[in-house]
Amino acid sequence: NAGVMQNPRHLVRRRGQEARLRCSPMKGHSHVYWYRQLPEEGLKFMVYLQKENIIDESGMPKERFSAEFPKEGPSILRIQQVVRGDSAAYFCASSPGLQDEQYFGPGTRLTVT
């Protein structure tokens, strides 16, 4: 059973471009979480999704950030018009149910130049 997959592992974008980060949860997992880790900081919750539904987006910046988890395919975290402050490691986690352990992917390291 493959673990949580994230791609790309490293992404470089110029200011103003769009970044798309992908997360494929573990097989059988229908709950997906996105977290952001800024340099020298802990992980901050961004958004929690189930298939086709956003359950909790209380940690998402109000502008430029969006997330989806379609019926088919990976979950996508989209950042429009990136700025230098968006440079961070973005981690995805999945779980089979609400109360279950979250399994983390290896992360996508976004660098905005």
Partner 1 sequence: AQSVTQLGSHVSVSEGALVLLRCNYSSSVPPYLFWYVQYPNQGLQLLLKYTTGATLVKGINGFEAEFKKSETSFHLTKPSAHMSDAAEYFCAVSDGNQGGKLIFGQGTELSVKP
* Contact residues for partner 1, defined by CB under 8 A: 4, 31, 33, 35, 41-45, 48, 55-56, 59, 91, 93, 95, 98-107, 109
CB–CB of 90/44 below 8 Å? Answer: no
Choice between 66 and 102, CB closer to partner 1: 102
- Helix%, strand%, coil% for the chain, nearest 5: 5, 50, 50
Rounded least distance, CB 10 to partner 1, Å: 10
Choice between 25 and 105, CB closer to partner 1: 105
Choice between 14 and 28, CB closer to partner 1: 28
Give, in order, the Cα–Cα distances in Å from 5 to each of 50, 80, 105, 112: 17, 22, 6, 22
Q: How many residues are given for the chain?
A: 113
Choice between 93 and 112, CB closer to partner 1: 93
Rounded least distance, CB 78 to partner 1, Å: 20
User: Within a 13 Å sphere around the CA of 105, how many CA atoms are in the beta-carbon half?
Assistant: 29
